[in-house]
Structure formats: structure tokens, C-alpha cells
Amino acid sequence: MRSTAEARRATVLNAAVSAFARTGFHATPVTAVAAAAGISEAYVFRLFAGKLGLFVAAAGACFERIVVALEAGAERAGDAGPQEVLEAMGDAYAELIADRDLLLFQVQAQAVTDVPEIAEAVRAGYRRVATFVGSRSGASDAQVQQFFAYGQLCHLIVTAGLEQVPEPWARALTAGIRHP
């Protein structure tokens, strides 16, 4: 045995998050994921229950990484006030998505929510993130809502490439958004 199946699954999931992030569910052949993971397409199908199972598992991994990053960010704020903790989480999120994979994967997953299993995975992911953000920061519902609203705005900015647009309307939308 060159490797255990569990270890392979982990590397495949990393490759899957990146690949799906770039080209989305339907336009990403599992051969692309397999190649990025350095194994054959056939073995990917043995490790996961079809392309759909692979995508759902990748969604789990994506949100897992987000929660971990937010935890680390919140730790930097210690037990400061809700606003401070939220800002620390925002900074952590901005750093995390510098490579764009996690952000783009979320956008891609949102676009395929007509598949029930994917919709459920997206809900489960945001459930984890939202409950964590709320409980860890102690912020009000309205503050948590604002946190996610500007997070979603960040998704638009990145997918549309608005950081690169010098026109006033784009500057207005990107003003104060951290990092991208």
C-alpha cells in the first residue's frame, strides 16, 4: 500500500476544492481533480460516491477550513467586545481567502443549489459558520447579519474583479473591504 485511503481522500478533497472553485461543478471533469491529486480518475470514483459525493465532501472541507480560520482570528481578539471580535474574524477571513479557492468554491456551491444534496451541504456549512460567529463574538443578530452581508459583497467584488476597476461606482462598492 502506497498510502491509506483516508489520506488519499484528504489530498483529493484539497484538489477538489481548488478545481471546483475555478470552474464549478458542471464544468469541472473529475479527471481534472484526479490529475491535480496525482491519481487516476477511476480511483477517485472508488474513494467518493460519484462526482456529486465528491463535491459535497469538498463543501464540508471548505467550510471546515473557514471555521478554523475564524476561530484563529477570534483568538487574536481574545475576549474583547463583539465588534472587535467580528473585526478580527473579518480580517482572518480576508487573509484566508487571499488564494480565492474558498471564496470561489462558496460561489460555485451557491450556483448548484438546485441539487438538493448540495443545497443541504451549503446550509450545513453556513449553519456551522453562522452559529460559531454568533456565539463566539456574542454579537447581536443585526451585527452577525451585517457581517455576512459584507462577506457576500466581498464575493461579488472578487468574482467580478471589481478591485481592478478604477471607476467611481466600483470604488464605492470596494471601499474599506479588506485585502482583495
Partner DNA sequence: CATGTGTGTGAGTGCACACTTACAAACAGG
Partner DNA sequence: CCTGTTTGTAAGTGTGCACTCACACACATG
The C-alpha angle with vertex 146 and arms to 143 and 152, in degrees rounded to 5, equals: 150
Give the closest residue to 154 by CA, choosing from 109, 61, 91, 76.
Answer: 91
How many C-beta neighbours within 10 Å does residue 160 have?
12
Q: Minimal distance in Å, beta carbon 104 to DNA?
A: 18
**Residue 79 binding result from DNA, a second copy, none, given CB thresholds of 5 to 8 Å by partner type:** none
Which x/- pattern over 2-31 shows residues binding a second copy (rule: CB under 8 A)? --------------------xxx-xx----
- The distance in angstroms from the start CA to the end CA of the chain is 43
Which x/- pattern over 34-53 shows residues binding DNA (rule: CB under 7 A)? -----xxxxx-xx---xxx-
Longest distance between any two alpha carbons in the chain, whole Å? 59
The residues that touch a second copy, with contacts defined as CB under 8 A, are 22-24, 26-27, 107-108, 110-114, 119, 122-123, 126-127, 130-131, 134, 141-142, 144-146, 148-150, 152-153, 155-156, 159-162, 165, 167-173, 175-176
